[in-house]
Structure formats: C-alpha cells, structure tokens
Structure 1
C-alpha cells in the first residue's frame, strides 16, 4: 500500500473539511481565504490520492458521496484536535496553558461552573475548556485531557479521584404537594414519575427499596438532560429522583421540596478521571489540586447520575 495515500496533506484535508461542512466550494474558499478553484484543485488532488470520489458534482452544486460523508465524519475530530493543540502551544508561548475537560452538562453547569471564578482568580494562567460528554467514552480518543464522570470503581486504565457521592433525593414543587401531599412512600402513586433516559431504572429501585408494588408506578416522560427534568419538577409536571447537588438552588429558594427522607443510594460517585500519562500535565495538576482541596467545600454535597 502506498504510504502517501494514508497521509494526505493538511491543505487537502482542510479544503475537504470546509467543503464538506458548507456543501460548497465557494463558501469553503471564503472560510480558508482561498479561491474557489484552489479549493476545487485541493479536493481533486485528494480524490486522486485516495482513488475515490468524495463529492458528486451537478453544475455548481456538490453533494458528499457515501464514502465522502464517512471520511468527513472521521477526519473532523482529528483536525479539531490538531487545531486545538496548535492553539494551546500558542497560548503556552504567551504564558497561558489550557485543560480540555469533559463533564456532564448539568453537573458542569450547577456544580463546577459556580466555583470556576475562584479558580481563575487563583490561577489566571490556566484556561479550562469545558466539553459536554454523556455516557461512556474514551478520554484520549475524544481529545480530552481529563473528565468528570459518574459511576463506580474501578475505572480501568484511568487514575480516579472521588469527588462526591451521588445522593438521590425525591423532589416535588410545593404547588404539586399542596394538591397531592406525600406523607409516606405510598403517596407517590398519586404522582407522575419523571425519568432520566439513562437512569430509567431509578424508580424501579426506589419502589423496590420502599416495598411498593412496581405495578403502581405512573412512569412519566423521559428527559435526556437532568436540567430538563428538574425544570419539569419545578413546573409541577411530576416528581423526580435527582442528585441533591443539582437542585440545591431550587431547594434553597423553595421552588422544590424534599417531602420524604427516603432517597436512593445508588452507590455511585463523581470522579475526576484522567489517563496516567496526564498525571503530571501542569494545567491538570493545578486544576486537580484546586478541585480536591478547595472546590468540594464550596458547593453542595452531591450530583446526578445521568446526562446531567
């Protein structure tokens, strides 16, 4: 196999990536500050190198072929990582380092973000770039330096620092409780049960723990993000099982209430995770020290175990 076919030039890949995103050679040329004919030549050269047709042409209109769409999807993350790495090198030269950190969306917004002003005050030379990730993923392959995720030990191949235990609490709006009081576990059967898609088993576990028949459950809508489920509970659509740290603000201002001291112990924790080769990466070491020695004392006790 011709090794050069496996390593197209960056100019070819950038031209193809821009054209694939815009579905236009002209707009790709504008983005890259090139002429339309220059973009076209780069893509033709790439097609000749790979010996495949990446676009179909119909006059001035272009459309990705099936293999072209696959190729565009595969190279986009790699180009983004190269661009990000170059930007970080430039920032480092100017005395600023950065950390690419993946986190669950609601957890990042409600638990981590409120304390980052303090971090930047203490460490103005480190930038934390937050990226939303849900479920399982490879930290290195996704271009991240570290991640905050929820689960149970072990985390194979990763260094894991526990942050907080997941404490699931039952919450409802005061208006809803005024109409349908919850004084004992059995009263929950009068309510629509809001669900997080990746934790659809939570209510089954709660009913089992309380000794209630599963047939009494009135399962309500699924939500992809905890933020949406929390808002649904505040609006009175139903009741929710949610990590306490995600609803501290609503509990403090009275928009949500915990009617029963009967939560759910999921045995899960939130962890700071990273591969061993990143252990001494300076921006990660700075962030890790701040997170483990100061951040956890700033906020509430817990979080969500879903695409929070």
Structure 2
C-alpha cells in the first residue's frame, strides 16, 4: 500500500473549488459554469481564485474578454476531470451496494468476458445468490492496490506483481470456418487450406505457421490474410464467411451451437500460454477465493 500523502491539509483543494474549476475549464466560461452549477458567476470566480491561490499558480488567463487555460491549467484540468469521474463512479457504486450482499469486482480479458465468462455467470449466481459480480475489461497486469478489483483473469506468462496466480487452462486452437465457406472452397483435407483466406490474430502471429508445420504443410502461405487484434473479431469474421481462423473452442461455442462455425480438423495447436485467475497476495475476499474455485471447476467440466 502506498504511504499516506503528507501534503498539509490547507493545501488540499476544497471540493467546490475543483467542481467550479472543472466546469469553467470545460465551458471556457465562468458564466457557462455558473449556469451549469446553478451558482452566480461571482461564486464560480471566487472558487477558482481560491484554488489558484491555494496552488500558487494561475489556471486561467484572460484574452480579449474571455478566459483560456494556462498550460498548467490544461494539465490540471485533465487530472481533476479524471479524479471527479472516479469519485462519481465510487459514489454510484457505494449507493448501489446492498448491505445483505457481497460485491466482486472482476477484471477480465474482453473476449474471455464476452464469450465465456458472462454467459456462465448465472451458474455462479445460482450457487452464490448473495454475491454480485461486476465485470470490467483489462488487457494487462495492474496493481491491486491502485485498481478497485478483487480478482483478475490473465493470459500469458505466469507473472503478476502483487498477485497470486492459479492456472485455469492451457490455450489450444483449431481451424474453424462457416459451413458455407467450407463448401465453397471444397475443404476436405489440411492441404486444401492453401486456397483459402487465413484469418490471423495479432497477439498469436506464429499460430498458423505452427499449425502448418504440425499438419506437414509448407509454411510459405501461412502468413497471408487479414489480421485482427481480438479473438471476438476473428470469430465474427470466420462466422461471416471471410475465411478460416484458428480459434479456441471455448470462444466460439455459441457460433458452433448455432451452426455458424464448424471445426474443420481436430488437429490443434498449442500457443504455449495459459489462462490464469489472479488474486491479491494479501487481503482478498473469501468470495473472491470462492469465485476462483468456481472458475476452475467450470473450465474442467
């Protein structure tokens, strides 16, 4: 945990000063800020002046009867706006809390959250009805001290500073396309893929080359085709008939069930990476540990 800031309390801005400054900076007008905040222009002007005095620097300058931000004011505006946004979100979260329930804040990879986790949350709610699960997207490791999350879903190397990782599953992928695309391209064997469009994922650039090598195919055509940066885009493109994609079956289950995607061959390729659930090293909620256990069970079913 970060040490407490030792800034003297008299130097910490008052909330009304920050609100007045943010509104004035956004409108570039004290009059506009006053109308939004239901204050007089004089009240907004005094609040901004008090803030400038507290900071010992000018935040606005007057140019031809209008106000513009100084360079310091411009930088300060971005930080104040973010701070007020965080405070607003925290306030809404606190107001929505039910004293009889627990809340888990889960950071998840977008594709994992959309295609696998969210559809299965009713199963968790069935066994833990008094736990509310909030989901938010994160792509990279973060500090649990700095972010308001109770656990995270991670893909890649088993490393997360300040976190305890538990392996959920290795990542394997198989070639998929739409039934119509398979018929149109007359795909009957791995060798037939040479006349298809291969859909690539930016974060797994060597996947098709490795699959070609495993299938005994020449690798010169393994790098041609469109590139996407999310599995969800590759799933949608393959289902729409744009080509063949290497996909984890867990992310295409809905499209397979609906008949929009089919697995061409059982020959799979492993990326050598895995999915993990991550808990803070210290002070995690018991409900977070229960959720991690539930995840592990779901992924082994």
Judge same fold: TM > 0.5, yes or no: yes
2:280 to 275, 278, 281: 275
Deviation at 1:248, TM superposition (A): 0.7
1:162 aligns with 2:167: yes
Q: 1:184–1:24: structure 2 CA closer, same or farther, 3 Å change rule? A: farther
User: Are 2:184 and 1:179 equivalent residues in the alignment?
Assistant: yes
1:226 to 208, 225, 231: 231
Unaligned runs of 5+ in 1: 302-308
Following superposition, the deviation at residue 181 of structure 1 comes to 3.4
Contact 1:5 1:50 in 2 (8 A): no
Greater displacement, 262-271 / 200-209: 200-209
Once the two structures are superposed, the pairs formed by residues 74-93 of structure 1 within 5 Å of their partners are 74-90=79-95
- The two structures, once aligned, show a CA RMSD in angstroms of 3.5
Aligned residues: 296
What TM-score does the superposition give when structure 1 sets the normalisation length?
0.78
Indicate yes or no: 2:152 matched with 1:147.
yes
Secondary structure (helix, strand or coil) at the match of 1:215 reads coil
**Looking at CA atoms only, which structure, 1 or 2, has the larger radius of gyration?**
2
Partner of 1:292: 293
> Within the alignment, does 1:259 sit opposite 2:267 as a pair?
no
Q: Distance in 2 between matches of 1:31 and 1:128?
A: 35
Q: TM-score, normalising length from structure 2?
A: 0.79
Counterpart mapping for 1:235-250 below 5 A: 235-250=240-255
Q: Give the 3 Å change call, closer, same or farther, for CA 80–174 of structure 1 in structure 2.
A: same
TM-superposed CA distance for 1:80, in Å, is: 4.2
1:169 Cα deviation (Å)? 1.9
Any stretches of 5+ residues in structure 2 without a counterpart? 1-5
Alignment-derived partner of residue 8 in structure 1 = 13
Contact 2:170 2:273 in 1 (8 A): yes
Deviates more, 1:244-253 or 1:209-218: 209-218
2:106 corresponding residue in structure 1: 101
Deviation at 1:36, TM superposition (A): 5.2
Deviation at 1:110, TM superposition (A): 1.7
